[in-house]
Chains A and B, each alone.
Chain A
Amino acid sequence: MHTFDLKIDEISKIEGKGSLFVKVKNNRITDFKFSITEFKRFYTQAIKGKDIISIPQLCARICGTCSNAHLLCAIKAAENALGIIPSRQTILLRQLVNYGLNIRDHALHLYVFVLPDIFGIDNVLELDEKNPYEHQILHDVFTVKAAGNLLGKAIGGRSVHAPFLTIGGFIKLPLPSEFDSIIMELEKSRSAVIRLINIFTKCGFKLERDINYIAMIDESYSFLSGEIHSSNGEKFTEENFGQYLDHIVIPYSQASGYKFSGKVHMIGAIARMNLGKNKLNERTKKDTSDALELFPSKNIFHNNLAQAIEILHAIDSSIDILKVLKIEKEKPPLIIRKKGTGIGVIEAPRGTLYYKLDVDENGKVVKGEIVVPTGQNQIGIEKSLYQFFSENLDKNKKFLENEAEKIIRSYDPCMSCASHFLKVQWT
């Protein structure tokens, strides 16, 4: 009969801090806690009373790795509150910034966090440079990350907390003279990404969950607009999305959890791929047909494969835009402050991100609500881990610990995001 305690205080190779505690007595799990241990920074309290113009750049500081997703979502909510409609050029530039984010962010997750699990090493820098294949993969790590970084810098001014984006447009426009060299770098990284997709297509990691997948999908798989789809066949407008999110207090975690219509759901790349793979860029579809056959999938580890495919989609879609984009001189419109409520929903790298901002007649924020992807996936992560442990209690602790970290990484959680605010409801 197995009796043990397993405690992982700081889960490695994820964004932010999380922990896992499992207590097993006589082959029965008696205590099980997946906790987000990142300390709160109380952003939803801090934005109260601040001018609406300052909110996107402040909220970008909720998270380092997906900062531009917060920036884009906060801008969308603010524009909806103020009745501002962005120009076609602004929409395309925002798509480019977001594609740059997805390339860089997914590449960080897949190469730096996950790939060591596949190669059985502690970190990606341990790849053997004397082995031609591993040497190539290590080279790929930096090539792909650099391509996303370059795109983010050229369009947004920086790949983290992009300074050029603001409500209504861009305070500085990109230089078209740089577009050809960006296209060249993106093209160069395609073969590396296809190698990455092949790795994750062949990867045998498996944990199936029968669960509702939720994602916002549009005709061009842009991440930034569309309707909310569920794998149960339902559709919702972005304005109504928040009504279906049920806030769940998890007393041992620094972050709140969420359910969708009372049930555990999963968001992120796997949800987008399950619900919208037919909307991917045509060139991406052509080069990933074998991988796309695996979707829709219930295997949570296919979130990794879905991210790899999304990197290629982001590259191909960016190339398409950059080839035809003519930059016209444009300035952001003058902001006329007025009372209103704005909702913004986008697909951040880790899933559906929701902002709701209430603004008074002077343009000051009265109330802000932000629901981040990791908050929505938190309960699902714990349930996935519980399922795995229930089926593997006879295994040794080292194996269980390693597998638990792999499961957590497959969700690509971002703890900095998840612990940004507080709703006091627990006792």
Chain B
Amino acid sequence: MLKKLKVGWFSFSCSEDSTIIFTELLNSHYQKWKNEIDFRSILVMQKKEDVDNLDVAFIEGAITSVLQEEKLKSIRRKAKKLVAVGSCAIIGMPSVQRNMFDEKIKSELSPFLIRFAYLDKVKKISDVVMVDDMVPGCPMNEEVFLKVINKYLCEFGITNKQK
């Protein structure tokens, strides 16, 4: 059986615009990727999930809650490489806009935030775990994403050279 890159795609607080761009990239790249990539987790496309021993975890969105923070740390422990994808993951915006609210609005929101165990402040991914690579953009820049994928396909010995 051919060796494939074990990939997981995870979304936290964001519009999931990069997920949509990823599903559109499949239109033209699926025929190649089906022989190279093993999609271990991508909730928007499949129910099956195996997040142990991932080669690369792509992380979209900012971290808003205690549970999200724990989940992200768990993914980091299981993935050899972790890539922050899109603006919310890399710089937090626009999901971190809550951090800039004035005290009046913050106090109005407070009971809700406590009820659903929100973090006091929204965090970008590198505030929580070590990030190996980034794909900037809102939504993510397709060309940069393809470069990152090709880099890891090469690095993990799936393909011989970067394309």
Contacts and interface: CB of A to CB of B under 8 A. Distances in A.
A13 B68 CA distance: 20
A287 interface: no
A61 B48 CA distance: 28
Contacts of A125: 30, 34, 39, 45-46
A interface: dominant SS: loop
Interface in B64-88: 64-65, 68
B65 A145 contact: no
Interface stretch (A41-49, A173-181, A202-210): A41-49
Contacts of A62: 15
A124 B45 contact: yes
Contacts of B118: 39
A158 B20 CA distance: 12
Contacts, number: 121
Residue among A46, A58, A113 facing the most chain B CB atoms (10 A cut-off) = A46
A64 B15 contact: yes
A145 B34 CA distance: 18
Interface in A1-50: 10, 12-16, 38-43, 45-46
A46 B105 CA distance: 10
Interface residues of B, number: 40
Contact of B46 (A12, A65, A146, A424): A12
Nearest to B105: A45
Contact of A161 (B105, B111, B138): B138
Nearest to B95: A41
Nearest to A14: B44
A422 B109 CA distance: 8
Nearest to B42: A123
A112 B97 contact: no
Given A10-B43, A64-B19, A161-B17, A58 B26 contact: no
A42 B109 contact: yes
Interface in A244-274: 254
A14 B139 CA distance: 19
Given A42-B109, A46-B94, A123-B45, A67 B28 contact: no
Contacts of B44: 12-15, 112-113
Interface string B33-66: 0100001000111111000000000000000110
Interface string A98-136: 000000100010001100100000111100000000000
Interface string B1-39: 000000000000111111111011011101000100001
Given A12-B47, A142-B30, A254 B109 contact: no
- Which 4 pairs, one residue from A and one from B, show the smallest C-beta to C-beta distance? A64-B17, A123-B46, A12-B47, A39-B64
29 contacts: A10-B43, A12-B44, A16-B16, A38-B13, A39-B68, A39-B118, A41-B94, A41-B98, A42-B97, A42-B98, A45-B98, A63-B16, A63-B17, A64-B14, A64-B15, A64-B18, A64-B20, A67-B17, A108-B23, A112-B23, A124-B45, A125-B34, A142-B26, A142-B28, A145-B27, A146-B27, A159-B20, A160-B21, A416-B15
Interface of A: 10, 12-16, 38-43, 45-46, 58, 61-65, 67, 104, 108, 112-113, 116, 122-125, 142-143, 145-146, 149, 158-161, 254, 405, 416, 422, 424
Interface of B: 13-21, 23-24, 26-28, 30, 34, 39, 43-48, 64-65, 68, 94-95, 97-98, 101, 105, 108-109, 111-112, 116, 118, 138-139
